[in-house]
A and B are shown apart, each in its own frame.
Chain A
Amino acid sequence: MTGNAYDIDIWGLLVALTMVAIAAGISELMRINIGKTLLWSACRALLQLCAMGFIIGYVIRANNVLLVFAVIAVMLVAAVQITLSRAKGVPKGLAGPVLLSLTITMLLMISLVTELVVRPHPWYAPQLVVPLTGMLLGNTVSALAVGLSRFYESMNERRDEIDTLLALGSTAWEAARPSIVSSIRLGLLPTTATLASCGIVTIPGMMAGQVIAGGDPLEAAKYQFVVFAAIAALTLVADSLIMAMVYRTCFTADDQYKPPEMR
C-alpha cells in the first residue's frame, strides 16, 4: 500500500528481527531461557501480521460483504481458541458461551461504532469493520481469559463461604456474586488503566498509526477516543455476559456447590 508517508522496506523488517535476535541471544547468555520463545513469537507475529495485511488488502479491494463477514467469522473462532487456551482452570465446554459473548459484543461494536458514529459507504466498509473488530477482539479476549481464570479460581477458594451462603438460603447467583464481581473487576483493570493513561503517558497504537501515516492528529484523537470508549463499554458487556452464562457450571440443578472435579 502506498498510503503511508514513510514506507518500510525489507531491510527495515530485517533490522527489527535482528533486534529481537540480539535480545534473545543476550537472554540466553543470562540464562533467562526466554530467547527461543521470544524469537519464535516474533517470527510468528511477522508472518501473521503480513498475512493479515495481505488478506485485509484483498478484502478491501474485493469490497464484498460476504467476504468481510467470512474474515470476521475466522477471527471470532480464533479468538475463542485463544481465550480458552489462555484461561487457566476452566471446565470444558465453554467454547459456546465464549463464542456467543464475543459475537454479541462484535455485533454491538459494528452496529454502534460503525453504523451510528462513523456511517461509512458502503455500510460494511472493510477498511473500517475488519480492523475495528480486530481491536475489539484483542481487548475482549484478554479480558475474558483473565475474568474466567479469576472466576473459577475464586469459586474454588471461596468453597467454604459458598457452602455457608447456600446453607443460609442464598441462590446460586448470590453465592457466586463476590467471585463474579472480582473477576469482572480484574478483567477490566487493563482497560480502565489504558483509558486513564492514554494521551499523557502513551499514544495509543491506532492514533499513532494514523499520525505516522500522515493523518490529522486531532482527527486521529477523535477516532481513538470513540474506539476506546466502545471497547471499554463492550469489554464490560462481554465479561458480564460470559459470567451470566457460566456461573451455573459451579452449581448443580438443585443449587448445590459443584466441586472442580465434578464440573
Chain B
Amino acid sequence: MSSTEHIFTASKVTCIVPAQGERRTIFENLDFAIASGEIVDLVGPSGSGKSSLLTAFARLNPHATGSFTLAGHDSDEFTPQQWRHEVAYLPQKPILPGETVAEAIRLPFTLVIRAGADSIGGQNAGNAATVAIDASTAAAPASASDAAAGRFANAQHRIGKVGLGRKLMALFRNNDQQAHKLLTDHKIRMTLDAMGCEDIDLDRPPHDLSGGQAARVSLARTLLTEPKVLLADEVDAGLDDENAEKVADIMATAAAGGMAIIRIRHRPPDGRASRIATLTNGTLSEQAGEQA
C-alpha cells in the first residue's frame, strides 16, 4: 500500500533503555503502518516492549527514536502537543484528576492545545459517531491529509496570535470556562449514554468509580478529543468479560467512524481486529485477524 492510504506510518522505531549502567535494546528498526478505520491488535509476551512501542508512536517515550507520519505529514511538522492531539496514547491505568467525573472528562479541553477550537461533535450529539473523528476526514482517506494540514495551519496561526499578556494570564488560570463551552455536561451525558455508560454518574467523584467504569470514562475522555489514531494500552486488562466487551464495542464504533486504533491485548482475539501484530524478541510479525 502507498503511504497516502495509511493515516499513520512509523519506520525505524528503536527503543534503548539504560539499565544498571548498560544500555538494553528493547527493539530496533521496527516498521508499522495503519489505515483509517482499521483496528490492529498488538500482542506479545510481557516485557517485550508493547507499551514502549505505543508511547514511541505518541512521541511520549524519551528512550525511543524513529520517524513517523500522520496523513502524509512528517511528525517534525507538528509540535509534540499537536502530534499527541491526533495520535492519542491511552494509558492502561485510568488516571482521572478532578472533583467529579464530568471534570475529569473535560480535562483535555482545559489545555492550551484545544483553546479556541470549535465546540466538538456537531449537531448529532446523541449519535455514537460523535466519538469518532468528523465525517469528512473519515469518508475519504485522500482528503484526510488536507484536513490534517488545515488543522495544523490553523493551530499555528492561533498560537502566533495570542499576545504576551494573555499568555502570562493563562499561565495559572484554570480554563474551566473554556472547557465548559467546548464540552457541555449535556454532551458528555449523551456521549456516555451512546457508549453504553448509563451507569456512570457525572457528579460523582472519580475515585468512587469501579475499575470497569474508570476504564470506560478514561476511554471516553480520549475518544471525545477525536484523535485520528488511538493507541490503547491494555485498556481491558483487569476488567470482567462484560466490561471488556463494552470497551471493545466502544472502540469498534469509533473505528467505524474512521479512527485508526492499535490495541495492546492479553485476552484471546475478539474478532474485531483486521490484523494481529506480534512483538517478540524485538521483532514485529503480522498475521490477518479473523474479523467477524
Measuring CB to CB, which residues of chain A are less than 8 angstroms from any residue of chain B? 160-161, 163-171, 173-174, 177-178, 181, 252, 254-258, 261-262
Q: How far is the CA of A165 from the CA of B108 in the complex (A)?
A: 8
Query: Is B90 within 8 A of A167, CB to CB?
Result: yes
Interfacial chain B residues near A163, Cβ < 8 Å: 60, 91
Smallest CB gap from B79: residue in A? A255
Partner of A174, one of B18, B58, B112: B112
Query: Is B95 within 8 A of A256, CB to CB?
Result: no
Smallest CB gap from A256: residue in B? B62
Query: Is B60 within 8 A of A256, CB to CB?
Result: yes
Sorted from nearest, which 8 A-B pairs have the closest CB atoms? A167-B89, A255-B80, A164-B95, A169-B113, A168-B108, A169-B85, A256-B62, A169-B84
B35 contacts partner chain A, Cβ-Cβ < 8 Å: no
Interfacial chain A residues near B108, Cβ < 8 Å: 168-169
B135 contacts partner chain A, Cβ-Cβ < 8 Å: no
B222 contacts partner chain A, Cβ-Cβ < 8 Å: yes
Q: How far is the CA of A258 from the CA of B61 in the complex (A)?
A: 9
Q: How far is the CA of A170 from the CA of B114 in the complex (A)?
A: 9
15 A–B contacts from the bound complex (CB under 8 Å):
A161-B95, A166-B80, A167-B58, A167-B91, A168-B107, A169-B85, A170-B113, A171-B112, A173-B171, A254-B62, A255-B80, A256-B61, A256-B80, A257-B62, A261-B18
Q: Which of B57-86 touch A at CB < 8 Å?
A: 58-62, 80-82, 84-85
Query: Is A177 within 8 A of B172, CB to CB?
Result: yes
Interfacial chain A residues near B95, Cβ < 8 Å: 160-161, 164
Query: Is B91 within 8 A of A169, CB to CB?
Result: no
Chain B nearest CB: distance from A56 CB in Å?
A: 40
B207 contacts partner chain A, Cβ-Cβ < 8 Å: no
Smallest CB gap from A170: residue in B? B111
Interfacial chain B residues near A173, Cβ < 8 Å: 171
B88 contacts partner chain A, Cβ-Cβ < 8 Å: yes
Query: Is A168 within 8 A of B80, CB to CB?
Result: no
Query: Is B93 within 8 A of A255, CB to CB?
Result: no
Chain A nearest CB: distance from B234 CB in Å?
A: 14
- Which of B80, B85, B89, B221 has the most C-beta atoms of chain A within 10 angstroms of its own C-beta? B80
